[in-house]
Structure 1
């Protein structure tokens, strides 16, 4: 008879997008298909707290966080869950009691926590962006297949009906040939909760609070890093050694629809056309990044521009818009243009009169929809064998993130980057290739054998 562990692992062998015959027991005979999945969480503040609340109906068996104070709410809500600061210890001690792991750490720690879980056959849900460098993206993609696990990146827009509309309308020929994509986002807001400028670079050393294990926060990063509250919590995003700036924070939402619908693949050129403030260590105040994607079969080349800070695309008369919202995306076609917000939830054609006419006869819905519960239930259903592999599984999410990280590199170092995806090399500036696979501190090396 198959055990619970055998069943949970075997369901992960499904290929991306394949539908799964329903299962009516997680393992031992007589158990319900609704049996709870045993979850462990790495990072339980910030996005971790949101993910914990969304998945709190499962069996929460372990909580791991380097900050006892930030984790206090999670510890109180789930008093039976075992507590850890080091996820390596958690996985070592509780591996047999864990079915799946949710990773909600700063960007630089996504990869080792996720790979460590996969190496033990654990299903994984990892916040966006999936990883901190290109090699990590590719290793996670290989790892999910090699270890046979159900994977999901936390870009919830990929589970919406809106993104399915975008692809269906494009494939129905509504937009015609799309040759340009424009995207924008208001941040970084240095007075908000997620970005803050340091008093010096590197930030001035301050005493580490007793509630924080700073060495574990530094994790895989090579080199001395002094504690400063500008790094933890939340505002690590602006520091390129730990986060991926506004582009890394939002491209996996805002660029998800065009990347998927147009099947863009990897750009051959990424260039920072504008870049105000910042340095190679800290995010600029604003930027404009151009991506050049080659033709794909009968589809023409595409130019994509990302704008953030105080930069926006210029309004065009044919759009019929008085102004642009604070964030959004426009796919420019030769038959029509399509606009979304910062996430792909509510697409519409522009101008308004075209949209009004189009809504009278919307193309057939051909792509299966994700029901109530969104990308969380999509993941847990796949683990149970009750649904398809999640849409933002690592096969897809790794490529979306790789494209994003190339843009982050242009934002960080400025200028033009010419990229050969087949060899994973920057061909015109070889000195930047070391950032495609960053060095790792001893004790945090994962994924080298797959």
Structure 2
């Protein structure tokens, strides 16, 4: 394999399968050791990365810095993004003083099914950093082969897929992690501890909000359908579509603007709610909603709406009261300003993202869409609270979610906090909201049966059918 091949001479799938087979045969060569000079694969965790461009570089970079890890294979369908990762990897090696070979020496595959089948037990663990529609088949293929998996949020493209991953991981004894940075932070632990200590009182309402996608991640088309464009020679469009129904290529979709297209992404709710709603989901033990309804600016089975207001209703849980959680998304979509906001000098107005947990005693605010730097509203209230904070009761994570996952695989740490037993119910809550936004409908949910009960026709969004050749 020649990693310096011109971008305009993108290899065919057959060529990549052939070169990947040669790479697999040469697997034991130490030149594939990344992260330390002259490293050997012996005793290290062999990790393959599916999707290495854009967000995928987070996984690559974190693994490069971990001396316990041996990067053994990459998979990506876009040579432009691959080359960007090669460049960023070289810069990281220089700035961080990392030894070992260049990323260009790691075997590169186009099809993760081929990668896992050919390398087999030479892979211990797999990261998945693809568009949402590939999360399930990539992760399930890895799990079925006995690989530990790290899958970026949202965990899957549908509720049925998420449940299937959880069940398979449990059967196989897989160490799993959904990539959700906030779950490993100090902030989310503070929110949970303050809630458990009764600082907020009974919480009956949660408000969360997020703006429209930035132009980089989604361009709202002026009209539909899009024109038919020719894919660049550097992109394998058929593999990019993968399990989703194949449609004509357009640069308004790939490689990075897919999030607002229902066939491939989950809209703003799917993109951000796993961050923003993680803290109340955990702290309040929300579990499954009984119903979800959405008011949207326009219903489309192709693209997410410009604005939406989504209302989740959760039943009482033991001694905890029912909760109404409202999500606002899009330009100008924000909740009412809560009591005590005006006397807080830090914020003259609501920021573009945030979350409120409105309790009978106090209101908690978490800024920027993740559970970082939480505080109680009211400057005087927060100052008084600082004098007598609740004692820390939850173990802290040293490092981020990737290190937490590797620690568990290496048996030097506990099961990751966002393992599938936790992250599947969180993802399910989010994805049910996605169904409501996509259809503009109210849905009633039977969590035990895994079905929408008030309109069974909507269950097609719960259990989706993959394109021929992609069923796992």
Q: Does the pair score TM above 0.5?
A: yes
Measured after TM superposition, the shift of residue 35 of structure 1 is 4.7
Is residue 364 from structure 1 mapped to residue 385 from structure 2 by the alignment? no
Matched, 1:146 2:146: no
Distance 1:345 1:103 in 2: 25
Aligned-partner SS, 1:60 = strand
Is 1:36 matched up with 2:58?
no
Corresponding residue number in structure 1 for 2:33: none
1:25-77 deviations in whole A, cap 9, x for unaligned?
A: xxxxxx99995321111101111012211211321110100111111133464
Secondary structure of the structure 1 residue equivalent to 2:189 = helix
Deviation string, structure 1 residues 86-141 (Cα, Å, up to 9, x no partner): 00000011122111101000001100000000111111110100000010010011
Identify unmatched segments of 5+ residues in structure 2.
1-38, 90-102
Which residue pairs with 1:50 in the alignment?
58
- The residue aligned with 1:67 is 78
Tell me the distance in 2 between the aligned counterparts of 1:270 and 1:45.
34
Kept in 1, the 8 Å contact 2:291–2:312? The answer is: yes
User: Does the C-alpha gap of structure 1 residues 34 and 175 become closer, same or farther in structure 2, counting only changes over 3 Å?
Assistant: farther
* CA offset digits 1:290-349 (Å, max 9, x no partner): 000000000000000000112100113333354211100000110111110210021111
CA distance in 1, matches of 2:338, 2:373: 21
Residue 400 of structure 2 is matched in structure 1 by 374
**Mean Cα displacement is larger for which, 422-431 or 112-121?**
422-431
Q: Give structure 1 stretches of 5+ with no counterpart.
A: 1-30
Does the Cα contact within 8 Å between 1:63 and 1:75 map onto a contact in 2?
A: no
Residue 288 (structure 1) aligned to one of 309, 312, 317 = 309
List aligned pairs for 1:311-322, cutoff 5 A.
Answer: 311-320=333-342, 321=344, 322=348
Q: 1-side partners of 2:433 and 2:391: how far apart?
A: 35
* Aligned with 2:382 (options 355, 359, 372): 355
For the pair 1:115 / 2:130, whether they are aligned, the reply is no
Shift, 1:442, TM fit? 2.1
Post-superposition offset of 1:431? 1.1
Structure with higher RCO (Cα < 8 A, 6+ apart):
1
Structure 2 residue corresponding to 1:162, chosen from 172, 179, 187:
187
Residues 268 and 419 of structure 1 are in contact (CA less than 8 Å); yes or no, is this contact kept in structure 2? yes
Separation (CA, whole Å) in 2 of partners of 1:74 and 1:186: 29
State how far apart, in whole Å, the 1-side matches of 2:305 and 2:192 are.
33
C-alpha separation in 2, matches of 1:167 and 1:226:
46
Q: Distance in 1 between matches of 2:222 and 2:75?
A: 30
Aligned mate of 1:231, from 233, 247, 253: 253
Alignment of 1:161-240 (within 5 A): 161-189=186-214, 192-198=215-221, 200-222=223-245, 224-240=246-262
2:465 paired with 1:439: yes
Q: For residue 121 of structure 2, what is the aligned residue in structure 1?
A: 96
Secondary structure of the residue aligned to 1:116 is helix
Give the drift of 1:79. 2.1
Evaluate the alpha carbon distance shift between residue 156 and residue 418 of structure 1 in structure 2; reply closer, same or farther with a 3 A threshold: same
Does the alignment pair 1:259 with 2:278?
A: no
Q: Which residue of 1 aligns with 2:320?
A: 299
Q: 8 Å contact 2:299–2:439 — kept in the other structure? A: no
Equivalence for 1:416: 442
1:326 equivalent in structure 2: 352
Please state if 1:130 is matched with 2:155: yes
Counterpart residue number, 2:371: 344
What is the CA–CA distance in structure 1 between the aligned matches of 2:244 and 2:320, rounded to whole Å? 41
Q: Distance in 2 between matches of 1:344 and 1:32?
A: 39
Change (3 A) 1:300 1:74: same
Runs ≥4 residues deviating over 2 A: 31-36, 73-77, 198-203, 316-322
Return the alpha-carbon distance in structure 2 between the equivalents of residues 195 and 278 of structure 1.
17
Question: What is the RMSD computed on CA atoms of the aligned residues?
Answer: 1.7
C-alpha contact (below 8 Å) 1:244/1:408 kept by paired residues? yes
For the residues of structure 1 that align with 2:337 and 2:221, how far apart are their CA atoms? 35
How far apart, CA to CA, are the structure 1 residues paired with 2:244 and 2:150? Answer: 22
Say if 1:172 and 1:32 are closer, same or farther in 2 by CA, change over 3 A: farther
Q: Is the 8 A contact 1:41 1:102 kept in 2?
A: yes
| Structure 1 residue 199, shift from structure 2 partner | 5.0
TM-score normalised to structure 2 length: 0.84
- Please give the alpha-carbon distance, in whole angstroms, between the structure 1 residues aligned to 2:444 and 2:143: 33
